[in-house]
A = this chain, B = another copy of it.
């Protein structure tokens, strides 16, 4: 740096100045990282009212209050893997080949074919979402997120300096996407659209025509979709779940899933990305997702080792029982809350009409 270019101000640090005191702030990224759910849940210490029985309204974790049965079969599969001593080493950062193959085999369908190479395993769907968002969106671009929606999406995006734009879901239309509103948010800095189906917290399961409308919009604007389908195994009676990737030949889709919800084991931390890219437009991005998986070296090897068993050999009775238990919980509230439950979901939503 030339002397002339340098501001002459004795107290200002020069480029080779020492720090002169212990002042160590959190980085900008850390300061931008706010997860509203965890901030409440992780620090919650409530002294219950001794005169009343506590009704825990819970978080989206079907295990900790003991109100759902654990998958015995998954436990047995884990014990087998531990005893085999074959799954203690580092898997590839994006997952064991056999674990990825078992995910592909479970989710491949003729209209959305998958091989092991189309699967990246992460440390939970959270990590999978983090990799998708980080891999597709640059700081300074924007991502379109559902409102209401799972708050982690915003946490992940804003921590990376990605602008969040919320598109409305319409309660009066089963929480479908307000397509006009969604389209009005798109500009040349939009990097992708995140869709969550079945929806947390709304419980909505989108119809095929509605998903096709969303895809048509994405095609018009050449926007890839991140589709959070972690609740795919839990649509309630009467709803049919369609993987969005199965309804398009054109729009590239990163579908995110995991075992947390379906198998009632959120602490096990295994999720995945299914890369649906039938025209090779995600070639560079795909390599980017793999690179990003190398930052933390992926998911627990024991659960990965047990994944083929869990995904393919869990007895049908477990799935049936889980759905039946969910239905039973929902019926607890049926008819008792008036208009308070517009859709069947793991959460109860209320709509408040506030007159001021």
Contacts and interface: CB of A to CB of B under 8 A. Distances in A.
A302 to B, nearest CB: 7
Nearest to A123: B123
Nearest to A91: B267
Count copies of this chain in the complex: 2
Contacts of A21: 222
Contacts of A285: 24-27, 30
A90 B134 CA distance: 23
A139 B297 CA distance: 23
Select the residue from A38, A64, A190 with max chain B CB neighbours within 10 A.
A38
A355 interface: no
A300 B188 contact: no
| A: contact size bracket | 35 or more
A338 to B, nearest CB: 32
A235 interface: no
A289 interface: yes
B38 A64 contact: no
A75 B64 contact: no
Select the residue from A23, A250, A292 with max chain B CB neighbours within 10 A.
A292
Interface in A79-96: 79, 82-83, 85, 87-94
A224 B24 contact: yes
A220 interface: yes
A93 B222 contact: no
Contacts of A78: 82, 302
A343 to B, nearest CB: 24
Contacts of A59: 90
Contacts of A70: 85, 88
A110 interface: no
A83 B188 CA distance: 53
B296 A159 contact: no
B252 A14 contact: no
Interface string A297-324: 1111111100000000000000000000
Interface stretch (A124-132, A171-179, A205-213, A326-334): A124-132
A282 interface: yes
A265 interface: yes
Interface in A144-180: 155-156, 159-160
Interface string A221-241: 111100000000000000000
Given A89-B61, A267-B302, A23 B281 contact: yes
A296 B24 contact: no
A279 B59 CA distance: 36
A222 B63 contact: no
A200 to B, nearest CB: 14
29 contacts: A16-B187, A18-B186, A19-B188, A19-B221, A22-B281, A24-B136, A25-B285, A26-B291, A27-B137, A29-B134, A29-B160, A30-B287, A34-B291, A35-B93, A38-B294, A42-B92, A64-B90, A70-B85, A79-B79, A89-B266, A90-B266, A123-B127, A123-B269, A155-B294, A268-B300, A268-B301, A300-B300, A300-B303, A302-B302
Interface of A: 13-31, 33-35, 38-39, 41-42, 59, 61, 63-64, 70, 75, 78-79, 82-83, 85, 87-94, 122-124, 126-127, 130, 134-139, 155-156, 159-160, 186-191, 220-224, 250, 252, 264-269, 279, 281-282, 284-285, 287-292, 294-304
